[in-house]
Amino acid sequence: MSSLRTDNDTWDIASSVGATAVMVAAARAAETERTDRIIDDPYAKVLVAGAGAGAWQFMADDAFVERVVENDPEMGALFEHMGNYQAVRTHFFDAYFAAAADAGVRQVVILASGLDSRAFRLPWPAGTTVFEIDQPLVLEYKAAALAEHGATPSADRREVPIDLRQDWPAALRAAGFDPGRPTAWLAEGLLMYLPADAQDRLFAQVTELSAPGSRLAAESMGIHAPDRRERMRERFASITAQMDIEPMDITELTYDDPERAEVADWLDAHGWRAEAVESQDEMRRLGRYVEVVDSDDESFSTFTTGVKL
């Protein structure tokens, strides 16, 4: 369980869970710079640039990566693996939205949207509305950063500034959401920051708001052995100390809850037809899997998609 989270904690873009959104955007920016990129996010770099100083500044720095490899080759491989994972995850959920659009879905909800730029960078069909739910300060930062660079959304983008622990369904309806229309939902980079009971409650709320033909996609993390979590924490602490970087321990923000339901099982039992893909299999399929020392594939992550019956 997390030692830093509280029931009513909040954050901006540079603190707590908000800072993880910047880290993810930095990974997307680094992937976009690659000649063999599998995603293209032209807004990621802009969103990272305005976030101030932090560990994310080094993710696209080739010189920094080279220093990491020199100091700890095994950690260098892990850094590469993590960056590849973010690219593959983004690629998977981009394809999910493309399939939903092809099926005629024109209403999208991104839960805990963070610095997700899909409302701007994906080619949404005419008539698509994209609702983004997140903490007010996170949405304010993203809107201001993108507006400053003249970015315009490719769909009807509507912000829903509210914490998911509050009455977000009412706020979503107030923003114009229609529960009578099929919806494509996304919970990417979210579930690990929720306790098990909060995850169940979130999916119950989504189910209640979903018309038949709605779709849902989610990323879920496995349970890590305590000794492996501690070893990884120590290695990251060593690297950040050597490189004189302020440490950021994401494990302190997440809930490693053994009682957490498997997403596909929960959906199948509540009126959805679900399918699950192991993330490492998707990484291998796209040629982005990197072998790392002390890996624990069973505790990595799963990409689950479902269709409301």
d(CA 293, CA 282): 20
The two structure tokens encoding residue 257: 């809850």
Assigned architecture for domain 17-308: 3-Layer(aba) Sandwich (3.40)
- Mean pLDDT, the chain, integer: 84
Give the pairing of strands 272-278 and 215-221: unpaired
Q: What is the pLDDT of residues 146-158, one digit of tens each?
A: 999 999 999 999 9
The two structure tokens encoding residue 1: 């369980």
Specify whether the CB–CB gap between 114 and 189 falls below 8 A: yes
The radius of gyration of the chain from alpha carbons, rounded to an integer in Å, stands at: 19
Specify whether the CB–CB gap between 54 and 22 falls below 8 A: yes
Whole-prediction pTM = 0.87
Predicted local distance difference test score (pLDDT) of residue 230: 64
For residue 245, the surrounding DSSP H or E stretch is: none
Predicted local distance difference test score (pLDDT) of residue 255: 74
Nearest to residue 280, comparing CAs of 264, 301, 257?
301
SS3 content of the chain, % helix, strand, coil (to 5): 45, 15, 40
Nearest to residue 18, comparing CAs of 139, 149, 198?
139
Q: Is the dihedral of CA 187, 192, 198, 203 positive or negative?
A: positive
Domains of the chain by residue range? 17-308
Please say if the pLDDT value at position 130 is more than 70.
Answer: yes
Q: What is the pLDDT of residues 41-98, one digit of tens each?
A: 999 999 988 766 555 555 556 666 677 667 767 767 777 888 899 999 999 999 999 9
Span of 36-40, 77-81, 181-185, 199-203 with lowest mean pLDDT: 77-81
What value does the mean pLDDT take over residues 165-176? 96
Q: Is the dihedral of CA 84, 136, 308, 268 positive or negative?
A: positive
For residue 131, the surrounding DSSP H or E stretch is: strand 129-134
Please say if the pLDDT value at position 4 is more than 50.
Answer: no
CA 33, 36, 40, 44: dihedral to nearest 10 degrees? Answer: -30
Q: What is the pLDDT of residues 21-42, one digit of tens each?
A: 888 898 999 999 999 999 999 9
C-alpha triplet 80, 86, 88: angle, nearest 5°: 100
Q: Write down the residue that tokens 């492996």 correspond to.
A: 228
Specify whether the CB–CB gap between 76 and 64 falls below 8 A: no
Predicted local distance difference test score (pLDDT) of residue 286: 97
Q: In what order do the strands lie in the sheet with 272-278?
A: 156-161, 129-134, 107-111, 184-187, 215-221, 301-308, 272-278
The two structure tokens encoding residue 275: 């399918």
